Amino acid sequence: MKTISLVLVLFMVLGAFAGILSLPSVAAVDTHTWDGGGGDVFAGTSLNWDTDIHPEAGDAVVFNAGALPCTWNLSIALGSFTIAAGYTGTITQGASFSVTSFAQGAGTYTGATGYTLTISGGFAKTAGTFSTNVCNIAMTGTGVSLSSNALLSPRSLTISGSTTISSGGISTFMLTVSGTLTISATSYWRPINVATYSNTGSITGASIFYVWIDASGVDTNWNPGSITAPVVIEATNAVPS
């Protein structure tokens, strides 16, 4: 009986071990820090990263030292994208890509009109320079924040989830809202010259939503949708005080 019991225990242990081995593997999330050691400026060059491997889907990316420029040419879905204090170079967007979160505290980020930066989590700019009128930002997450220490002027802003402009002003050529855009009391949105507006969702909040109209008093690009935020109609393109 003891021999049979030991055999049964052995089979049970082996079966449990086989079950562990058959579990699906979970891909590790790696952090890649830019060092520019690859002899060119491209993010897709593995030797430009401290790991000597270029970032892959789900990974975290950090720029935190030096002034070596980077051209981002990877069309992938990252985890976090951080431009931290200590980096004084320029990152130029050369491909559409997505991130869970985007944080800028230094350096210069330059977008491109043909590419989109898609963010499912938050966008936070506390310092540095974010290029004007060229970057396309798409906010897709739910209950996320978009904040800036100064006026943020991407070419376009698309809201498909629910986003709150929590600090700083936003000024764009194009605004497309299919979800919910909330403007906090310390923020505002306003167009750059004559903008294209498309609101099939809702725009809410305690602060001001500026609308620019042309000389005839009609802006044919305007699709107002549902707006409960205070609206101010302007006939100039002066930045509001």
> What pLDDT sits at residue 226?
80
- Which domain covers residue 35, as residue numbers? 27-234
Q: Is 127 within the bounds of a domain?
A: yes
> What pLDDT sits at residue 23?
46
Give which of 192, 185, 177 is closest to 227, Cα–Cα: 177
Q: Is it the case that residue 13 has pLDDT exceeding 50? A: no
d(CA 73, CA 177): 28
Q: Is 3 within the bounds of a domain?
A: no
Q: Is 241 within the bounds of a domain?
A: no
> What pLDDT sits at residue 218?
47
d(CA 42, CA 47): 10
Q: Is it the case that residue 237 has pLDDT exceeding 60? A: no
DSSP state string for 11-80: HHHHHHHHHHHHSPP-PPPPEEEB--TTSSSBTT-GGGBTTSS---TT-EEEE-SB---EEE----B-SE
> Regarding predicted confidence, which is higher, 222 or 160?
160
**111-149: pLDDT as tens digits:** 999 999 999 999 999 999 999 889 999 999 999 999 999
Instruction: Find where tokens 């050369």 sit.
Output: 94
Q: Average pLDDT of the chain?
A: 84
Mean pLDDT for the stretch of residues 78-99: 98
> What pLDDT sits at residue 238?
43
> What pLDDT sits at residue 16?
53
CB 82 within 8 A of CB 59: no
Instruction: Find where tokens 């609308």 sit.
Output: 211
Domains: count for the chain = 1
Q: Is it the case that residue 154 has pLDDT exceeding 70? A: yes
> Regarding predicted confidence, which is higher, 101 or 190?
101
Instruction: Please tell me which of 59-63, 166-170, 189-193, 210-214 the model is most confident about, judged by mean pLDDT.
Output: 59-63
Name residue 84's beta-bridge partners: none
Q: Is 90 within the bounds of a domain?
A: yes
CB 118 within 8 A of CB 93: no
d(CA 76, CA 99): 8
Mean pLDDT for the stretch of residues 213-237: 62
With 0-12 CB in 10 A as exposed, 13-18 as middle and 19+ as buried, what is 47?
Answer: middle
For the chain, percent of residues with pLDDT exceeding 70: 78
Cα dihedral angle (36, 37, 38, 44), rounded to 10 degrees?
A: -40
Q: How confident is the model at residue 46 (pLDDT cuts 50, 70, 90)?
A: very high
Q: Is 130 within the bounds of a domain?
A: yes
Q: Is 101 within the bounds of a domain?
A: yes
235: left (phi over 0), alpha (psi -120 to 50) or beta: alpha
> What pLDDT sits at residue 2?
44
Q: How confident is the model at residue 81 (pLDDT cuts 50, 70, 90)?
A: very high
Q: Is 188 within the bounds of a domain?
A: yes
Q: Is 11 within the bounds of a domain?
A: no
DSSP state string for 165-211: EEEEEEEEEEEEESSEEEE-TTEEEEEEEEEEEEESSEEEESSEEEE
> What pLDDT sits at residue 17?
47
